[in-house]
Amino acid sequence: METKSAVAALAALAQDSRLAIFRLLVQAGPEGVAAGKISETLGIPPSSLSFHMKELTRANLAVSRQESRFVIYSANFQAMNDLLAFLTENCCGGQPCLPPDGCAESGDACPPNSQGADP
């Protein structure tokens, strides 16, 4: 993923309603959710929902399809995974990443400085 695409995706998610919409779409899975159901579930007026969906679609985080008289939106899981990969590609200085207390719970050795120790 290019930096420009990552910035567009992060900007689209940096708003309460759009983040809530995207999370709902991720929970729904590939089947997606009808626009009216998104509006009803999240309490977003249809005119506002249209604006937010346009932003998520422009950032390639959501896709739409027509089914009969309904517009169905779903998360673009490939774009979501690409964004996560972009954000974590240089994680932990090349060492396997562990949750904050993961090494203590699992008994595995912690990478140097993984617990916030000074170098």
* Mean pLDDT, contiguous 10-residue spans, the chain (119 residues): 94 97 97 97 96 96 96 97 90 69 52 46
At 60 the pLDDT is 96
At 93 the pLDDT is 74
At 49 the pLDDT is 96
Strand partners, 67: 70
At 62 the pLDDT is 98
pTM of the full structure: 0.77
CA distance 11 to 34: 24
The CATH class, in words, for 3-80 is mainly alpha
Q: Domain ranges in the chain?
A: 3-80
Residue of 111, 89, 93, 94 lying closest to 102 (CA atoms): 111
Longest Cα–Cα distance of the chain, Å, equals 61
**Type of residue at 70:** F
